[in-house]
Chain A
């Protein structure tokens, strides 16, 4: 039972929502990636006006933790940290790939099933043939933890033999060009919405899974190495 502000600026499509018990009350969104920093706080103000709630009434502030655009993740987390610090509210961090997988699971729910288990593989484009990806079963348990992967034809060989893999997200079209056995895969054109994030942030609050306000970092997934490092 929680009133949660959800902030997602992980990818080009930014969404802010206010949700009560995982039901989204109001949403604001923008597709202008360069404007996320200008968008976020006015959007929050607008949602508060629409909903009639004040920030003090929130039970938690949730932010999309990553993976995603490094800058986008920092815009979200620094916004969320500021709110949590000023309001003395707990911070919740929700994994982008998990939210994407939930959207795919829901979208796939009505589809006819074969006798093979269906698993879900959301992908975020990380330039060239690299993606950020993970694999989940239809109960959102991770079968493969989030990782940065350079796609090759056999990237999911171990899973493809016994499962049907449902790919989704901005990186999945790159894998489509590599697939050799189309019978064991499916591609889903689905975008996660505010309600998918709200579902997972509500779960985190119920379980008391809060992030450390002072030192939490975005889930970058990759260490950063500069090419100019001295010996």
Chain B
């Protein structure tokens, strides 16, 4: 294969250090180092995340290059996650990437983390064609994006408060499950009755979401029930998980369905860490059958935070000549 464009990408926005190699839009490697240090704290501790990135960055980049069989001077561009994310975490990846670009004298490409989640769908085979809709759901974000082209991504709906992943994790905490609780809810939900308990569903206009009310609804419900029966959570854990999960998925799917109706777009994707949730995956398939959507779900390693999605986004920015100067610095928040 003739090598045209080799891009090394680095992602360090939260608690995963990742590096990937992409050649002409094909992912050759995607190495991800998870940080387990946060588990005992019940959430990501920014200072610890930054410290771990510092120790991971060289080995992770080195492994990504070796797995891809690419040597340093074959790289045509360096990409990194510029925003949004934890600033201390982003800085490690950004400074490292800028030094690589400077030392190798290659262009630098700054990538928006949320745009990259959407474009992670392009890695798949089959991949969606434009336009498509993408529901991005993670611990920090909940968005519906209308993707018109790789560089024309329009946010048409988003959460006004908590993210869907937060709703999973916070509910799990109320149920006494360890962090991160989202995957545990999914596991217990499989054996529970999703219709057993009902929780408040928000009435938010347009295509936007709200999840803070659900958490409160779960809290009050559990407080009332445990007053009557101290063993209530233990005795009903599976049904509680199934009911909470079903509520979150219903909130998500209602707006996704509305977005598909409004835009007339029939290719529907999901992205972000919560797209690993089995309930959400089967709901998407079910809606797809019912409404004639073509459904795309990226492989799990491209759903959670990963550098492959940064690389594929950078590949399109490279073709459009969208490069950054060495003065570019990361930002915790960013305009789309």
CB within 8 Å of B: which residues of A?
35, 37-42, 44-45, 55, 70-71, 74-75, 77-83, 85-87, 213-215, 217-218, 220, 224, 226, 228-230
**B47 contacts chain A at the CB level, 8 A cutoff:** yes
Interface locus among B86-94, B133-141, B156-164, B296-304:
B86-94
**B33 contacts chain A at the CB level, 8 A cutoff:** no
**B230 contacts chain A at the CB level, 8 A cutoff:** no
CB within 8 Å of A: which residues of B?
40-43, 45, 47-48, 50-51, 54-55, 57-59, 61-62, 72, 87-88, 91-104, 325-330
The chain A residue sitting closest to B330, CB to CB, is A37
Interface contact B102-A230, CB-CB below 8 Å = no
Interface contact A71-B88, CB-CB below 8 Å = yes
**Which residues on the B side are within 8 Å of A86 (C-beta)?**
72, 99-100, 103-104
- How long is the Cα–Cα vector from A161 to B162 in the complex, in angstroms? 60
Interface contact A82-B96, CB-CB below 8 Å = yes
Which of B47, B50, B103, B329 is the one whose CB lies under 8 Å from A82?
B103
Known contacts being A42-B326, A71-B91, is A85 close to B54, with CB within 8 Å? no
- How long is the Cα–Cα vector from A189 to B91 in the complex, in angstroms? 32
- How long is the Cα–Cα vector from A41 to B42 in the complex, in angstroms? 36
> In the complex, given contacts A78-B94, A82-B99, what are 13 additional A-B residue pairs having Cβ atoms less than 8 angstroms apart?
A39-B327, A41-B95, A78-B93, A78-B99, A81-B58, A83-B103, A85-B58, A86-B104, A214-B59, A217-B54, A220-B51, A226-B45, A226-B47
Interface contact A218-B326, CB-CB below 8 Å = no
Chain A interface mostly: helix
The chain A residue sitting closest to B95, CB to CB, is A78
Interface contact A38-B51, CB-CB below 8 Å = no
A-B contacts at CB below 8 angstroms, number:
113
- How long is the Cα–Cα vector from A74 to B56 in the complex, in angstroms? 13
**Which residues on the A side are within 8 Å of B87 (C-beta)?**
71
Interface contact A38-B328, CB-CB below 8 Å = yes
Which of A80, A87, A217, A230 is the one whose CB lies under 8 Å from B55?
A217
**Which residues on the A side are within 8 Å of B328 (C-beta)?**
38
Known contacts being A37-B91, A79-B99, A83-B99, is A70 close to B50, with CB within 8 Å? yes
Known contacts being A83-B103, A86-B100, is A217 close to B51, with CB within 8 Å? yes
Known contacts being A71-B88, A74-B91, A86-B104, is A228 close to B61, with CB within 8 Å? no
For residue A143, give the distance in angstroms from its CB to the closest CB of chain B. Answer: 30
Interface contact A215-B55, CB-CB below 8 Å = yes
**Which residues on the B side are within 8 Å of A218 (C-beta)?**
54
Interface contact B95-A55, CB-CB below 8 Å = no
Known contacts being A83-B102, A226-B41, A229-B40, is A38 close to B327, with CB within 8 Å? yes
Interface contact A224-B51, CB-CB below 8 Å = yes
Interface contact A45-B102, CB-CB below 8 Å = yes
What are 6 pairs between A and B in contact, CB < 8 Å? A41-B95, A41-B98, A41-B101, A42-B326, A79-B95, A82-B95
Interface contact A38-B329, CB-CB below 8 Å = yes
Interface contact A74-B97, CB-CB below 8 Å = no
- How long is the Cα–Cα vector from A214 to B62 in the complex, in angstroms? 9
- How long is the Cα–Cα vector from A41 to B61 in the complex, in angstroms? 19
Interface contact A230-B41, CB-CB below 8 Å = yes
For residue B312, give the distance in angstroms from its CB to the closest CB of chain A. Answer: 22
Interface contact A228-B43, CB-CB below 8 Å = yes
Which of B40, B47, B98 is the one whose CB lies under 8 Å from A230?
B40
Interface contact B327-A229, CB-CB below 8 Å = no
Known contacts being A37-B330, A83-B102, is A74 close to B40, with CB within 8 Å? no
- How long is the Cα–Cα vector from A218 to B54 in the complex, in angstroms? 9
Interface contact A41-B99, CB-CB below 8 Å = yes
The chain B residue sitting closest to A71, CB to CB, is B88
Which of A70, A85, A213, A214 is the one whose CB lies under 8 Å from B47?
A70
- How long is the Cα–Cα vector from A72 to B47 in the complex, in angstroms? 13
**Which residues on the A side are within 8 Å of B54 (C-beta)?**
74, 77-78, 217-218
- How long is the Cα–Cα vector from A11 to B72 in the complex, in angstroms? 32
**Which residues on the B side are within 8 Å of A214 (C-beta)?**
58-59, 62
- How long is the Cα–Cα vector from A36 to B325 in the complex, in angstroms? 15
**Which residues on the A side are within 8 Å of B45 (C-beta)?**
224, 226, 228
For residue A102, give the distance in angstroms from its CB to the closest CB of chain B. Answer: 26
For residue B328, give the distance in angstroms from its CB to the closest CB of chain A. Answer: 7
Known contacts being A82-B99, A83-B103, A86-B103, is A228 close to B92, with CB within 8 Å? no
